[in-house]
Structures are given as structure tokens and as C-alpha cells.
Amino acid sequence: MCASPLRRRTHRSESSSQPSRPIVYRLASGPRTSTRPLRRRRTRQLVLIVDDSLHTRNLYSEYLTFRGLGVVSAADGGSALVMARSLRPDAIVMDLAMPGIDGITATRHLKADPRTRAIPVVILTGFGYRAIEQGALESGADLFLTKPCLPEDLEQEVLRLIARRT
């Protein structure tokens, strides 16, 4: 049996016919004195998928989840910036052409912020022009991939970037 920092206390027997009161969890080590919220340590890598196409987000999210990665998604650059700052994913896969803040502008913001600067950014777009690739890499992107991109290839590149970061 694992030692747990939480101790479970119930107010009634669980086999009682009376309605049970809520279960209360208390820290075994005593009361918390910190005002910072409790954060769980992530056990798997988290990838943020940013694309305005629901189909593309679902395709890559389902595959990466099936392969054991944690995945969250955003539909535009503005949402991606908020999520990246709050969740601190291990990698970000971002489309270029999106409503609001586009992928290059969002990447510039991420790389300018000390909280998100180290997060690898993969630009995944349907625009395969050399000038666009150069602009994306100059904005701070770590890798430029063109669609269509097999989910297996994306997973391999994302894991390579995460391993390089750690």
C-alpha cells in the first residue's frame, strides 16, 4: 500500500442506509500554510495543438493522445498564448494562417516571453514556400513542417524536440 499525503475521513459508514455526508480530505502533514494552489506534477508530456481547423486539431490530438501524450488545443493564436502561459506545455504545434493572431506573431510573442521562451514551437502549415519557412524560423520557430503531415512524423519530430529541450 502506498503512503499517501491525504487521509480519507468519512462521517458515516458507507454501508449505512442514511444519505452520506461528503468525504473530507485532509493533509496528513497538517494544515497548508501556503497560499499557492496545489499543482499536480505532470506524468506525461503535454503538447498544445493550435489550428483554426477543427478537423486538423482532432486528427493530431487523437493520434498523440493514443500514443500517450497529453494534448490540449486552441483555435487561434490569442488562445494559444493564454494556454501556453498558464499550462506551460512541453511543445507547441502551430498553424500559420489563423484568425486573430497568426502563427508567426504568436510564435514571436512566445519567444519574447521568458515564461514560454524555452518551449519548442513546430510550425505546421499548408504553405510550403521557402520564404514563409524562413520567416517562420526567424520568428523563433524550432521546426517548420508542411501539410499534409502524417501524425507519426509529427509525433517523431515533437518527441525529438522535447528530448532536445531536456
Residue 51 maps to a domain: yes
Rounded Cα distance between 92 and 139, Å, is 14
Asked if residue 141 lies in contact with residue 122, where contact means CB atoms within 8 angstroms, the answer is: yes
Rounded Cα distance between 73 and 31, Å, is 36
Q: What is the pLDDT along the chain (166 residues), one digit of tens a residue?
A: 344 344 334 444 444 455 555 544 444 444 444 444 545 555 689 999 999 999 999 999 999 999 999 999 999 999 999 999 999 999 999 999 999 999 999 999 999 999 999 999 999 999 989 999 999 999 999 999 999 999 999 999 999 999 998 7
Q: What is the pLDDT of residue 42?
A: 56
User: Which range of residues forms the domain containing residue 155?
Assistant: 46-165
Q: What is the pLDDT of residue 73?
A: 97
Q: SS3 helix, strand, coil % of the chain, rounded to 5?
A: 35, 20, 45
CATH number of the domain bearing residue 71: 3.40.50.2300
Q: What is the pLDDT of residue 44?
A: 83
Residue 122 maps to a domain: yes
How far is the CA of 163 from the CAs of 2, 49, 110, 157, in angstroms?
30, 18, 20, 10
Q: What is the pLDDT of residue 154?
A: 97
Q: What is the pLDDT of residue 33?
A: 44
Residue 56 maps to a domain: yes
Total structural domains within the chain: 1
Q: What is the pLDDT of residue 166?
A: 72
How far is the CA of 23 from the CAs of 3, 12, 32, 95, in angstroms?
19, 9, 19, 45
Tell me the CB-side half-sphere exposure of residue 32, using CA atoms within 13 A: 10
Angle, CA of 73, 134 and 144, to the nearest 5°: 35
* Burial category of 92 from C-beta neighbours within 10 Å (exposed 0-12, middle 13-18, buried 19 and up): buried
Residue 66 maps to a domain: yes
Q: What is the pLDDT of residue 121?
A: 97
